[in-house]
Structure 1
Amino acid sequence: MPGFIHKAAAGAVIASVCSLPQAADKIVKVGFSSPLTGAQAAAGKDNERGLRMAVDELNQKGVKVGADTVKFEAMVEDDQADPKTGVAVAQKLVDAQVKAVFGPYNSGVAIPASKLYNDAGIVMATVGSNPKITLQGFANVYRVSASDSQLGGKMALYAARELKFKRVSLVDDRTAYGVGVAEEFAKVAKANGIEIVSRDFTNDKASDFNAILTSIKGKKPDAVFYGGYFSQAAPMKRQMKTLGLDVPLMGGDAICDTEMGKLGGDAVNGSVYCTQGGGLLKTNSAETFVANYEKRNNAKPMFYAVSFYDAMKLVAEAMSRAGSVEPAKYGPVLAQASFKGVAGTYEFDANHDLKSSPVTIFQFKNGRPEPLANY
């Protein structure tokens, strides 16, 4: 099992896994928040599968925390990718006295929910990428994936340096995630010689983009950057093809998904670029994770299953190292330790962002995102 390398221990590996569970296991509840219904349900269910896989592995092996062998139980909640629902979910999990929360998936949900979790003294490990999440100064909030500045900025660098784009149109869905990643793209694009020729807005429930795309076509851009999710990006790319707007579509991690290929069909192949923080590299641990995931679920993992899997293992290690399941005790260990997970090494800076989160640029081929370069 991956383990902590504590800074004070100069590379010593701290093992959290011990003997098989005894009869009197201590139950430790953890929470989960992601969209399990609606347009982003596929991503949410993938996140849940990653978390449950980690929980089952930990419970099978047994984790020693202080004098107890603990058994983890996941409280899984559907936040519907909606901020209001996400806050209600957060209150429910706070009332249940969970010891950690994995999620929310969406930045727009994570930002308001984070205050409830932090005020309640509960560790929140999110993949939400908007920089505001970790700039609030909350001691209990951690980001376990790349931020918008990394995702949007690196896509802009690749567009300028490798794809040689000079004119790009921007569209975002007005969510915290979509706005954040689009703004970061625009900032770095402009600094690297790309002109933003138009800026349009939609929403994360929309399906008809013809008016926006007709306007964009008249601007003659080299590409379109979309800040939003695959559920809108896929029909947008299909409509681009129908309108004869024959230019690439770029985006962040939320379009970098096999669902984009399924929903977008032939329109996406060779014509969609996206970024993903971390991801599954070709390592033994990654191959084992994918094989186990496929065996359990009869499906390939999407991008964030591994982040939820790693985050659960990371928190379990911190609890074991601290000898306590209480966030006030294991939180400082989490903040100061380094954890080698399946997707890479998790080590946090002062804001609880990852110190190192390399970004991979992908292009869709045969309906799936294929890696092109690391940035």
Structure 2
Amino acid sequence: MQYSTLFKRATAAGLLLGSLTSAIAQADQTVLIGLAGPLTGPSARIGKDLENGAQLAIDAANARKPKIAGEAVTYKLVSEDDQSDPRTAVTVAQRLVDAGVVGVVGHWNTGTSIPAARVYHDAGIAQVAPVATGHGYTLQGFDTSFRVMGHDDDGGQVAGQYALQNLKAKRIAVLDDRTAFGQGLADQFVKSVEAGGGNVVAREFVDDKTVDFSAVLTSIRSKNPDLVFFGGVDAQAASLARRLKQLGIKATLMGAGGFVSQTFLNLAQKDGEGVTALEPGLAVEQMPGGKDFDQSYKQRYKQPIELHAPFAYDGVGVLINALEKADSLDPKKYLPVLRASTYQGVTGTIAFDAQGNLKNPTFTVYQVKGNKWEPVSVAGGK
């Protein structure tokens, strides 16, 4: 009886252990994907927008019940706040690597993406930048760096051509915020204008913390420009637009890759009327999957897209697509697949050149009309 009882207990324990082992085996493997951007500070609205877009892509992928190497997987987003600060970005990048992410979608701006790229390269994992339009990001030569929108060498060229050919600018003043993005963009704009025979009458700069543009605009006013180009982002651009009007400078304000947002409209108000900006990619309503994405975003988050959420969505999408096509979480196997990708995303077709830049990028020119950004022209693409 004692032996029989022990046998029954041992058998029951074995069955229980087997059941637990089976349950563990059947549980989905969690695959971590990093998201890096400014989640606090002045640009937090943009960082949150990126995070929201990335999370929608994670949810869409999980809804398909994905498998890799025959094993069920669940994707999970791991977000880190780089505060738009280059030093913080390096720390954040290392934290994501240490957490075991298979790849990262980020960072938002060029100044943070460039130093973070080395961390991801040293770890051997993919970095897919949803924005980071400065060409310098991919010029570092890392085979782990990718971007899903056009870069500023192309954007600056298109903006310069538009200023001369469409806006008929004759006397152009150029101002930048001295960031890797702003200065790089302004430099490319100047090259394009000069190549087209245009006249740059002033080349000035501020920094990305400037709120009072009085001194630099007083200097620019003396040159009597008919167009002022600013390499910088929306909040500063709005302050610049207001000060131009207050100083009576009758010049069109133009920018690229950072103006087109609701924040600009809210801050600039009536002083934003007529401002022209070139933005990488198509307007959301013109994107192949834009209308559905816009609807999903509003239903989920109860607010409109701020700026770049569709690109974060596609950044996650193209990365997951590479993982599943390679049927592996090993970067040595999925990175070649990612580089050779032709992926149909919300924003359009995503394919990469040898540097990791988006092939055949599209740019849209917007103008503020009736306190709304209206797309007026499309350049690039196929």
Using the TM superposition, name which of 268-277 and 326-335 deviates more.
268-277
Structure 2 residue 258 is the aligned partner of structure 1 residue 254: yes
Q: Is the 8 A contact 1:29 1:72 kept in 2?
A: yes
Percent of aligned positions with the same letter in both sequences?
A: 38
Q: How do 1:223-302 and structure 2 match up within 5 A?
A: 223-282=227-286, 285-302=289-306
Alpha-carbon distance between aligned partners in 2 of 1:100 and 1:284, rounded to the nearest angstrom: 26
SS in 2 for 1:104: coil
Alpha-carbon distance between aligned partners in 2 of 1:167 and 1:23, rounded to the nearest angstrom: 68
Instruction: Give the drift of 1:83.
Output: 0.3
Q: Is the 8 A contact 2:65 2:72 kept in 1?
A: yes
1:17 aligns to what? Answer: none
1:105 aligns to what? Answer: 108
Q: Deviations over 1:204-234 (max 9, x none)?
A: 1111111111111111111111101112111
Residue of structure 1 aligned with 2:155, choices 151, 175, 182: 151
Whichever structure has more helix as a proportion of its residues is: 2
TM-score by length of 2: 0.90
The code of the aligned residue for 2:297 comes to: Y
The code of the aligned residue for 2:77 comes to: A
Structure 2 residue 346 is the aligned partner of structure 1 residue 342: yes
Instruction: Give the drift of 1:45.
Output: 1.0
Q: Is the 8 A contact 1:257 1:368 kept in 2?
A: no
The code of the aligned residue for 1:240 comes to: L
Instruction: Give the drift of 1:284.
Output: 6.0
Q: Deviations over 1:54-92 (max 9, x none)?
A: 111111222221211211111111111110111110111
Alpha-carbon distance between aligned partners in 2 of 1:347 and 1:281, rounded to the nearest angstrom: 21
1:219 aligns to what? Answer: 223
The code of the aligned residue for 2:316 comes to: M
1:29 aligns to what? Answer: 32
SS in 2 for 1:233: helix
The code of the aligned residue for 1:62 comes to: K
Instruction: Give the drift of 1:258.
Output: 1.9
Residue of structure 1 aligned with 2:119, choices 116, 121, 125: 116
Q: 1:81 to 1:283 in 2, by over 3 A?
A: closer
Instruction: Give the drift of 1:128.
Output: 0.5
2:3 aligns to what? Answer: none
SS in 2 for 1:337: coil
2:95 aligns to what? Answer: 92
Which has the higher Rg, Structure 1 or Structure 2? 2
**Count of equivalent residues:** 354
Instruction: Give the drift of 1:182.
Output: 0.5
Instruction: Give the drift of 1:279.
Output: 4.1
Structure 2 residue 206 is the aligned partner of structure 1 residue 202: yes
SS in 1 for 2:286: coil
Q: Is the 8 A contact 2:287 2:347 kept in 1?
A: no
Residue of structure 2 aligned with 1:313, choices 310, 317, 322: 317
Alpha-carbon distance between aligned partners in 2 of 1:365 and 1:63, rounded to the nearest angstrom: 45
2:57 aligns to what? Answer: 54
Alpha-carbon distance between aligned partners in 2 of 1:279 and 1:319, rounded to the nearest angstrom: 29
1:323 aligns to what? Answer: 327
Q: How do 1:162-181 and structure 2 match up within 5 A?
A: 162-181=166-185
Residue of structure 2 aligned with 1:82, choices 80, 85, 108: 85
Using the TM superposition, name which of 362-371 and 244-253 deviates more.
362-371
Where relative contact order (Cα < 8 A, 6+ residues apart) is larger, the structure is 1
Structure 2 residue 329 is the aligned partner of structure 1 residue 304: no
SS in 2 for 1:236: helix
Q: Is the 8 A contact 2:229 2:253 kept in 1?
A: yes
Structure 2 residue runs without a partner (length 5+): 1-24
Q: Is the 8 A contact 1:40 1:231 kept in 2?
A: no
SS in 2 for 1:75: strand
Q: Deviations over 1:114-166 (max 9, x none)?
A: 00111101100012011111111101110111100122111111111111101
TM-score by length of 1: 0.92
Structure 2 residue 38 is the aligned partner of structure 1 residue 40: no
Structure 1 residue runs without a partner (length 5+): 1-21
Q: Which runs of 4+ in 1 moved over 6 A?
A: none
